[in-house]
Amino acid sequence: MQAEQGLEANLISINGVTIADPNEVLDDATLRQRAYAELLRQQAMQAGLLAGDDLPATDGVQSEAASTAIEALLEQALDVPEPSEQACRRHHGAHQATYTTGERVNLRHILFAVTPGVDLNALRKQAEATLLNVRCHDGKSVADAFANAARSLSNCPSGANGGQLGWLVSGDCAPEFAKEIFGSKDVGVLPRLVHSRFGLHVVEVLGRQAGQAQAFESVQGAVRMALKQQSFVTALRQYLSLLTGKADIVGINLEAAQTPLLQ
């Protein structure tokens, strides 16, 4: 069972095992990652894949033996079927943008960086207010408004140049950023903030150049791997939910499965 308490990181435990050093200050995502890793380490031990004297990781870095055992555990526990050719063709047809090469976009942005200790609520409000402000202009005035906002507010070095990033291909960007930008055909100031590992972005697409769509046969391997990864993630989430439901978890709220999801 789980105790939903707002405890300090050093008081969070999984079946009695503390997962953080007393002096660490960690965000929720890191704490969850550590909690799930400890659940898997303990399960690997119960399955006889890891020696009982393996020490838990209080700094987030597990032993090499634990990492190897967890890989073996997941290999045994997760059902990740090979996708059929029909499923691969459907996926390819529905995600043409993903399998297009050479597409380029001309961008500028205003970055509101997420840094340790930043007030995320205040940062979001500032980013949303800036987005609204630049969208209230048109023509030359939007160019001036965007450039001025980038120079005064952006946490990216490009701010000194009005936020200009120039012509980019998908590989030039963080994957989550590229997914937002190359996953649509919008031109102009995008109507919502773009999220990335760096923070929140106000983005204007100044131009697009179409790429070349790749035939299914030339990207079949990549399509198959993408579908297998999706299946792996789904199966892993289900397995972690099962483990969570059986564990004694203190100090962090992990979603537990109410019914078995894996047979």
Q: Is the pLDDT of residue 259 over 80?
A: no
Q: How many domains does the chain have?
A: 2
With a cut of 60, say whether residue 45 has pLDDT above it: yes
Q: Does residue 124 carry a pLDDT above 70? A: yes
* Residue 179 pLDDT greater than 80, yes or no: yes
87 in any annotated domain: no
How far is 197 from 114, CA to CA, in rounded Å? 8
pLDDT band at 173 (very low <50, low <70, confident <90, very high): very high
Cα separation, 194 vs 202, whole angstroms: 7
Same domain for 47 and 125, yes or no, is: no
Same domain for 154 and 63: no
Q: Considering the domain boundaries, does residue 159 fall inside one?
A: yes
Would you say residue 197 lies in a domain? yes
Query: What's the pLDDT tens digit per position in 56-89?
Result: 887 778 899 999 999 999 999 999 999 999 999 9
User: Would 218 be classed as within a structural domain?
Assistant: no
Split at pLDDT 50, 70, 90, the class of 2 is very low
Quick check: helix, strand or coil at residue 1?
coil
Is this structure's pTM higher than 0.75?
no
pLDDT value of position 258: 44
Angle at 19 between CA 54 and CA 229, to 5 degrees: 80
Domain residues for the domain of 162 are 103-213
Average pLDDT in the 31-51 region?
93
Are both 112 and 202 inside the same structural domain? yes
